[in-house]
Structure 1
Amino acid sequence: MTAFAPILAAAVARAGDEAALRADLKQPEPPEGLAMVGDDRYLSLMTRRIFRAGLQHRMVDARWPAFEAAFAGFDLDQTSALDDADIKRLTQDESLIRHPRKLAAVRSNAIAMQAIREEFGSFGVWLARWPEDEIVDLWFELNQRFSQLGGNSGPAFLRMAGKDTFLLTDWVTAGLRQWQAHPGPFKSKTAQREVQAIFNDWAAETDEPLSLLSQILSRSIGELD
């Protein structure tokens, strides 16, 4: 097993000191905080992540008030009730990013989120209850249940939402290779579960959340994930 202590030491050395390193790290939200967030806010955040993929984040964020208006504040019931004519109308709205599949995904994802709400009370409760030591299974579940959340989009959405997760960015995967923790490749479910086990060991060693371990790993050789 690759110990995390030398990884932390390298990241501290690059930052100058540990205080400077930790000042740049984004902490996850506690489960009770995740559970209190409204479903409409999670649908909005999920949609923003989907539209950010492959585009400049600033451009997407600048248009977000128009998205909020177009989807009734991302209310699940109103968004899930949109019909095909409504979606087609949105693809012609110049205030939005007119990507037909991504716009259609908003309705599909509202319906998927409704199903989780019916079973667990809210999407936030479902998210909060998911154990972090099985976080890659949550990645797979998001990909299966929701549209346009494959690849890194599901984990990136979780990070945006504050759910504790590591990411498999270029810097993180390079760090895993450089520190001889995992040789890659990293796209298969088997490899991702192997990386989960590595991060679980590091969490046990350090008592740090997965997201901080991921950020420190990336900072040990390059930039934040």
Structure 2
Amino acid sequence: MATLEKFSEIWARACERKGGPAIVNSLLPDTLSAEEISEYSDAQLLSVISKRVFQSGFVWRVVDNKWPAYEKAFFDFEPMKVLMLSPDQIQQRASDPTLIRHQKKTQAIVDNAYMIQQINAEQGSFAEFIANWPTDDITGLWQVLKKRGARLGGNTGPYFLRAIGKDTFLLSQDVQAYLTAHKVVDAGFTSKTALRQTQAAFNHWQQESGKSLAEISRVISLGVGDNRV
């Protein structure tokens, strides 16, 4: 792995491309404290997880427009109520024209409700489990969501965490392009080696800059490629 570029250089490049520090600062994402994240209800978390699953590979606007119908069809995403759905009821929802016809993503709502209930049983609170996970091992939390949840691999799990305010970087196309070009990683991004190398780099930049992982991720994106944020 190559010597890491200083974050001050990454920051300067983003500022040059976007028009100065004030503009870059205005584009940085917010994160919540552990205390704030721990206040989420299971239903709120299941709703966000499910929306991110459906948005993956789909037009986000369509999912947003249909989400009130999902809230109604899945009992406001209360996990215990979702888990009471019979296979026939799940199939009916998967073929409902007012929703999105996708069997596997519909089943994922139920499977992720089960994940939440299991982690509650083991840890006492799914929200607190997420809130208290250390950000210097955020890719470890990605792996838990991927392994124990349904359809939460790739960027879906990280996008869920970002949506609820948990500090995490994202492996967007621009961030991946930067990490590859600067030889920060020497393996495929789905590998544990690449995730470990990426985590180490972001931990270094965080200690250097005092910024959150989410902010660092955004600054990298603003300084390279097509500026997808």
TM-score, scaled to structure 2:
0.94
1:17 partner letter = G
Partner SS, residue 63 of structure 1: helix
**Alpha-carbon distance in structure 2 between the residues aligned to 1:144 and 1:181:** 26
**Alpha-carbon distance in structure 2 between the residues aligned to 1:71 and 1:167:** 29
- Kindly state the Cα deviation for residue 120 of structure 1 after the two structures are TM-superposed: 2.6
Partner SS, residue 221 of structure 1: coil
Question: Structure 1, residues 11-39: CA drift from partner, whole Å, max 9, x if none?
Answer: 01111111110101111111111000111
Question: Structure 1, residues 72-122: CA drift from partner, whole Å, max 9, x if none?
Answer: 000011001111011111122111001001111111110110111222332
The equivalent residue for 2:99 is 96
Partner SS, residue 131 of structure 2: helix
The equivalent residue for 1:44 is 47
The equivalent residue for 1:30 is 33
8 Å contact 1:177–1:184 — kept in the other structure? no
The alignment's C-alpha RMSD in Å is 1.2
**Alpha-carbon distance in structure 2 between the residues aligned to 1:58 and 1:117:** 32
Q: Within 5 A, what are the aligned runs for 1:189-200?
A: 189-200=192-203
The partner residue of 2:10 within 1, 7, 16 is 7
**Alpha-carbon distance in structure 1 between the residues aligned to 2:113 and 2:14:** 40
Instruction: Calculate percent identity across the aligned residue pairs.
Output: 38
The partner residue of 2:139 within 118, 122, 136 is 136
Task: Name structure 1 gaps, 5 residues minimum.
Answer: none
The partner residue of 1:167 within 164, 170, 194 is 170
Question: Structure 1, residues 16-67: CA drift from partner, whole Å, max 9, x if none?
Answer: 1111101011111111110001110100000000000111100000000000
Question: Structure 1, residues 123-142: CA drift from partner, whole Å, max 9, x if none?
Answer: 11010010000011111100
Matched, 1:182 2:192: no
**Alpha-carbon distance in structure 2 between the residues aligned to 1:111 and 1:105:** 10
2:184 partner letter = A
| Runs of 4+ that moved beyond 6 A | none
8 Å contact 2:187–2:193 — kept in the other structure? no
**Alpha-carbon distance in structure 1 between the residues aligned to 2:25 and 2:124:** 35
Task: Name structure 2 gaps, 5 residues minimum.
Answer: none
**Alpha-carbon distance in structure 2 between the residues aligned to 1:213 and 1:144:** 26
The equivalent residue for 1:57 is 60
Matched, 1:107 2:110: yes
Equivalenced residues, count: 225
TM-score, scaled to structure 1:
0.96
Matched, 1:118 2:128: no
Partner SS, residue 93 of structure 1: coil
